[in-house]
Structure 1
Amino acid sequence: MSKIIARGPSPFIPGFTLQDVTLDNGVTLRVARGGQGAPLLMLHGHPQNHLAWRKIAPQLAQHYEVILPDLRGYGDSDKPASDEMHQPYSKRAMAGDISQLIDALGLKRVAFVGHDRGGRVGHRLALDHPEKVSCCVFVDIAPTATMYARTDKIFATRYFWWFFLIQPWPLPETMIGHDPAFFLRKHIDGQLKTPGATEPEIFNDYLRCYQDPAMIHAVCEDYRAAASLDLQHDAADSARRIGCPLLALWGEKGTVGQLYDVVETWQDVADDVQGYALPCGHSPHEEVPALFLQQLERFLASV
């Protein structure tokens, strides 16, 4: 039986309150909520938490009920033990969390926005639970299977952590754990192309979470699952397509935008796709929030 425990106002996102939502599967997710209207659920990526949406969430809350979970394994959500198959950190398991969260909040369907890992969870959510998703926005990603299938030296060099984090325990955990602040700073600075986009107090909160050995392990398990079990699920579902309207947004200065025709990659797996590049790196909602918000609100108003 799901339950919700109030944790008080968000210290970083005005008008939002924090809740711990325990799902039927026993996993507890930290969730920030604000606003009223049609539900809009937004999932962050690695190495962030729900604060990644801080620059646009208050504006969206003027028209929507905005729901900002921390993914399992990230932020202040639970970090369940994994297994040899990395199943607890498969995108199927993580999408199952979001499906159960929608139920726990008494909702039927949500508009979905996902960045980075959150977008990959959204891809699986749209396949496994299509009745719960009215539309999808995926931010600075191409499909996981596509990116692995087209791996070359340029991609492997720029996205080295896709191949570092999947190494067997405890190699990456030990190396990151030696200096989490260094790894986190280098990762964010390498991905974002807009100086100052991550304010010091926000970086410190990301670091607070990233210093937890359980989160470091969960991150590695997330990527290990992506390189193994998730690919198996994608192959088994190769004939299934995303049926709801899909908007892809990406940074023109980032790796995804430079290496792929992003819209084309999503047209391979979805029926109704549009997409646009924004003048930034990997995290448009943190780097160019006004432009990101303009594209997002236009899309949401059209579906």
Structure 2
Amino acid sequence: MSEMTDRGASPFIEGFALKDVKLANGVTLRVATGGEGSPLLMLHGHPQNHLAWRKVAPELAKKYQVILPDLRGYGDSDKPASDEQHLTYAKRSMADDISLLIDALGLEHVAFVGHDRGARVGHRLALDHPEKVTCCTFVDIAPTATMYAKTDKAFATRYFWWFFLIQPYPLPETMIGQDPAFFLRKHIDGQLKTPGATSEAVFNDYLRCYQQPEMIHAVCEDYRAAATIDLEHDAQDSEKRIACPLQLLWGEKGTVGQLYDVVSTWQDKAVDVQGAALPCGHSPQEEIPEVFLAQLQGFLDSVL
């Protein structure tokens, strides 16, 4: 059985209410919701929380029931203890959370948008629970297995945390824990290519969560899972395809856009793929929200 606890109005996203949703698996997710209409679920990435969608969610809420969870391990969601195989933070486990959240909200299916880690959870959601997603938009990622398989100096240098965070506990946890604000600031400033895209108030909320030792550990476990159990699951499902329409959006100034032909990396992962480069870095919804909204709404109008 799921349980819901109201947490009041969002201080950052006008018209949105916060609630804690305890899922049937015992994990509680912090969720911001707003609007009415067809359900649209949007998952943030690392190192953010659901506030990553603050600039686009109010406009989308004029047409959709917008659902903004914090991933397990992130934001104000539960940060369960992990295990030696990192199964607790496998994308399969995180996708199961989202499937259970859809059930808890009394919905049959959602349109899905995911950025960064959230998009990787969306990939697994679309494979494991295809009946729950009507369409997907993945923001600034190539498939995990592809990115690891094609690792070279350029990628390892630009995305060093893919190799730093996976080091055995407690090395990265201890180093980040010495100065979380420094690590968080360097990470966001390096990824986003639009100065001022993250206000000081929003950065402080990201930091409020990121400086918690439990979140630092969860982040490391998320990446450790990506380099181990997630690759095993991907290999087992190498013949599976995302069945619903898939839109890919990426920043032309970012690592993914500069190192990969993004659409081609997904053509053997999905049956219906389209995509576009956007004039920004890693986080278009924060850097160029109007452009991002136009691309997303055009896609949703075409498939829903």
- Give the shorter-chain TM-score range: over 0.9
Letter in 2 for 1:149: A
Normalising by structure 1, what TM-score?
Answer: 1.00
Specify the alignment match of 2:235 in structure 1.
235
- What is the CA-CA distance between 1:43 and the residue it aligns to? 0.1
Give unpaired runs (5+ residues) of structure 1: none
Q: What is the 5 A alignment of 1:260-275?
A: 260-275=260-275
Deviations 1:192-246 (A, max 9, x none): 0000000000000000000100000000000000000000000000000001000
- Secondary structure of the 2:62 match is coil
1:118 corresponds in structure 2 to 118
The aligned runs of 1:1-303 (5 Å cut-off) are: 1-303=1-303
Percent same amino acid at aligned positions?
A: 80
CA distance in 2, matches of 1:237, 1:124: 10
Q: Which amino acid aligns with 2:97?
A: D
For 1:265 and 1:275, how far apart are their aligned partners in 2? 11
Runs of 5+ consecutive residues of structure 2 not aligned to the other structure: none
Q: Secondary structure at the match of 2:169?
A: coil
CA distance in 1, matches of 2:5, 2:143: 35
Q: Quote how far apart the aligned CAs of 1:55 are.
A: 0.1
TM-score after normalising by structure 2: 1.00
Partners of 1:290 and 1:241 lie apart in 2 by 31
> In structure 1, how many angstroms separate the alpha carbons of the residues matched to 2:4 and 2:140?
32
How many matched pairs? 303
Shift, 1:52, TM fit: 0.1
The one-letter amino acid of 1:57's match is: A
- One-letter code of the match for 1:6? D
Q: Secondary structure at the match of 1:300?
A: helix
CA deviation after TM superposition for structure 1 residue 108, in Å: 0.2
The one-letter amino acid of 2:209's match is: C
Runs of 4+ in 1 over 6 A off after TM superposition: none
Q: Structure 1 residue 268: deviation in Å?
A: 1.7
Instruction: Report the Cα distance in structure 2 between the residues aligned to 1:105 and 1:280, rounded to whole angstroms.
Output: 34
Query: In angstroms, what is the RMSD of aligned CA positions?
Result: 0.3
